[in-house]
Amino acid sequence: MIPAAFDYTRAATVEDAVTALAGAGDDGKALAGGQSLLPMLRLRLAAPAMLVDLGGLTELRGVRDDGDALVIGAMTTHDDVMRHPLVHEHAPLIAQAAETVGDRQIRHLGTFGGSLAHADPAGDLPGVALAMDAVMSVAGPGGMREVPASEFFVDYFTTALGPGDVLVSVRVPKLTGWTTHYEKFHQLAQSWSVVGVAAAVRRSNGSIAEARVALTNMGVTPVRARGVEEALRGAPATADAVAAAAGRALEGASPLTDGTASAEYRTQLAPVLTRRAVMAAGGL
């Protein structure tokens, strides 16, 4: 299939992109790596009148060290993210999740920011961003603003980005002394996550000092498993304690039934995968 016709502009600056997208309003769409958008265009499930290509904005690519945080450019590809030494050192959870996105070809073009802005409930990176307390830098018609991950994912395929907004970069606080794991459950390598669990654990003297857990596809947006985190805080680093804590994975979750799985099945999976994710993250 071939997409419906659209107008196209390749933005030379972020300001250009904002102006073009603001001008197009609801008929405009930003094109990052295009790995989610192109199939939708080809199936004509989406038919924007104007595509604003961010591909030329080299300043949106790359990862830099910003003291107590990393700043990941929104147009950095999954492939670059998952290989970047700074990411491995300070935010390995992001690398672990990025490795599971799509396949090699898709990771070569698909971008970190694109995945977050697309906000697919089955996407792996939104949950990770939530677990990491990431903060999005957004350029819009009113200038730059910061949106924490907890406010960025608003609804099913919906973020806080409005018409004319461009996700510029993502600030990820460094997690020093933590170990992490992303547990993705899907039957086939190409399939999207049925449920995913992002877990980060800081151990101290045989116990779990603190933990962060976020769930993919247990609601229309990623879900921070605060109950699990609370139960793990100060808990002994044992399988039993982790299993007990994982039992609270469903607090705050409201899984959907869709073509991939039923809500009932997701309800079964979430505690099991949470237990496995925390065990793996904690090296247990």
Whole-angstrom distance, CA of residue 233 vs CA of residue 225: 13
Of 16, 19, 23, 38, the one binding another protein by CB under 8 A: 38
Whole-angstrom distance, CA of residue 87 vs CA of residue 95: 6
Tell me, residue by residue from 230 to 259, as one string, x for binding to another protein by CB under 8 A and - for no binding.
-----------------------------x
Given the rule CB under 8 A, which of 80-88, 130-138, 141-149, 173-181 is the region that contacts another protein? 80-88
Q: Does 265 bind another protein (CB under 8 A)?
A: yes
Closest approach of another protein to the CB of residue 234, in Å: 27
Cβ closer to another protein: 117 or 130? 117
Which residue type, as a one-letter code, is found at position 68? D
Contact 246, 275 (CB under 8 A): yes
Q: What angle do CA 279, 282, 284 make, to 5 degrees?
A: 55
Given the rule CB under 8 A, which of 17-25, 100-108, 199-207, 238-246 is the region that contacts another protein? 100-108
Cβ closer to another protein: 158 or 191? 191
Of 83, 174, 226, 233, the one binding another protein by CB under 8 A: 83
Kindly provide the residue ranges of all beta strands, DSSP E only, lying in 48-187, ordered along the sequence.
Answer: 50-53, 63-65, 69-73, 135-140, 143-148, 153-155, 158-159, 166-173, 179-185
Q: Tokens in use for 178?
A: 């933590």
Residue 245: its H or E element: helix 239-246
Q: Which of 34, 65, 67 is nearest to 48 (CA)?
A: 34
Which parts of this chain interact with another protein (CB under 8 A)?
Answer: 1-8, 10, 31, 34-35, 38-39, 41-43, 51, 53, 55, 59, 61-64, 73, 76, 79-80, 83-86, 88, 102-106, 108-109, 185, 187-192, 194, 259, 261-262, 264-265, 268-269, 272-273
